[in-house]
Amino acid sequence: MTVSLYIAKRYLFSKKNRNAINVISGISVAVLAVATAAIIIVLSSINGFGLLIDEQISSYAPDLKIEVLKGKTFNINNESFSEIKKLKNIKYFSGIIEENVLLKYDNKQTICTVKGVPEDYGKEFHLKNTLRDGIFKTSGKSLNYVVIGGGIAYKLSIYIESGKAVSLWTPNRKKVNMLNPEQAFNRISLIPSGIIAIDNDFDLKYVLTSDKVVRKITDRDRSTVSSVEILAKNKNKIETLKAEIEKILGTDYIVKDVYEQFDVYRVMKSERLAAFIIMLFITLIASFSIIGSVTMLIIEKRRDSFTLMSMGMSIKKLKHIFFTEGWLISFSGAAIGIILGALICYAQQKFGLVTFPSDGMYIVDAYPIDLKISDFILTFFSVMILGTLISLYPARKLTEEFIKETKFA
């Protein structure tokens, strides 16, 4: 242990001679600890919501989605897509057909998007886990079925138990009759089999039925799709699979991973960065208490400084003592804050101390928390860098002024 560290440690942690300086230093440590803990809690809370979104989106989002760069639909009956189907890491390959339609139920109606999916789609994407009512069924032997997004079901007051059919209306691309507008539309009746609830964007936009039904009412053939959805066998190698598909398809198509398919990920990333910067700014303000603590210490230890310099201590080492004092305050505050933040987050994870209002309809009862070691490392070093830089000011400026006053400079 160096002389500077030993003396600074004695000034901060000495059990004897407790006075106002010790109290001020203790307050500085406490302020930094609270600010550090707040950063950990905020970041962990954002991580928790991100994890919750991941869990929700993963129930229906493909690992990769292929869309055409220009146009609305494209043909998959060609060599390129045949080659893609043979790639080793592809677990599930599905052509999806979508169309904007008018959905009618009783005397209510709304515009939504019908998504035509294969029979095994619900099983592969675990959509049965998102059911709020009924069963996940899109086709039958004699009847056509549809699964309704929760937001649409609420908007049109659709109840599965009623057994009433909904009707889909879409423009007939082959025939236009100005005298009888209804004949210019293709129409089909479907029996609601289930209601799913995933998120607001999905629930208010989509209804799911058999791809055969959608192709029928939109006059599309079996090889025409709006997009291709892919599930990977090894999710750790999705980027490699994406690169392989992009190489095969060229520049006429867009291949999106999960994070590119949904704007919510970009929003969460921006919110996380903004929250970290704001909390770091608050920590910066809290760190200015170090200046007060070190300044008071320099003033109080005038006689000790005079004695040390009389014994041959250099100006540089004297400055280093007070700089080390500020550094110790930063280190203590950061370390205590990290531990405090971790304990609070763990308690929230374990016991759900902070809950959502009981009358709200939420997926979880308490605020979600996800602890990441990277957040602890980033927070600790950020607080330490701020504290270290701030500690330089009183150590250099005020010590020099003290030396000039005592005529040792």
Q: 322 and 200, same structural domain?
A: no
252 and 272 part of one domain:
no
Q: Are residues 112 and 183 in the same domain?
A: yes
Q: Single out the residue in 258, 280, 297 at which a domain terminates.
A: 258
Both structure tokens of 64:
């990769």
9-58 pLDDT, tens digit each:
766 666 555 566 777 788 889 999 999 999 999 999 999 998 888 877 77
Show the beta-strand stretches assigned E in 251-295: 253-257
User: Where is the domain boundary, 218, 243, 258?
Assistant: 258
pLDDT tens digits along 363-392:
678 889 999 999 999 999 999 999 888 888
The answer to whether the beta carbons of residues 123 and 241 sit under 8 Å apart is: no
Do residues 157 and 26 share a domain? no
31 and 116: one domain? no
What was the pLDDT predicted at 409? 46
Mean pLDDT to the nearest integer, 267-289: 90
Q: What are the phi and psi torsion angles at 114 (to 5°)?
A: -95, 135
212 and 287 both lie in a single domain: no
Tokens of 323: 């700089």
**Of how many residues is the chain composed?**
409
What's the structural domain count of the chain? Answer: 2
**What is the rounded average pLDDT of the residues 182-190?**
83
Do 269 and 364 share a structural domain? yes
Amino acid sitting at position 99: E
**Mean pLDDT score, 159-182:** 79
Q: Do 363 and 306 fall into the same domain?
A: yes
The predicted model gives 64-75 an average pLDDT of: 94
pLDDT at 256 over 80: yes
Looking at the fold, whether 238 and 270 belong to one and the same domain comes out as no
Structural domain for 52, as ranges:
3-57+265-405
Residue-level pLDDT at 167: 94
b/e 168-190 (16+ beta carbons within 10 angstroms → b): bbbbbeeeeeeeeeeeebbebeb
pLDDT in tens, 116-158: 999 889 888 888 778 889 999 998 888 899 999 999 999 999 9
Q: pLDDT of 232-253, one tens digit each?
A: 999 899 999 999 999 999 999 9
The answer to whether residues 340 and 356 belong to one domain is yes
Verify that 73 and 49 share a domain, yes or no. no
Q: Which residue has the higher pLDDT, 84 or 54?
A: 84
| pLDDT given for residue 116 in this prediction | 95
Q: Clarify whether residues 141 and 218 are in a common domain.
A: yes
CA–CA dist 86, 74 (Å, integer): 20
* SS3 readout for 142-196: CCEEEEEEHHHHHHHCCCHHHCCCEEEEEECCCCCCCCCHHHHEEEEEEEEEEEE
Amino acid type, 308: L
Contact 296, 24 (CB under 8 A): yes
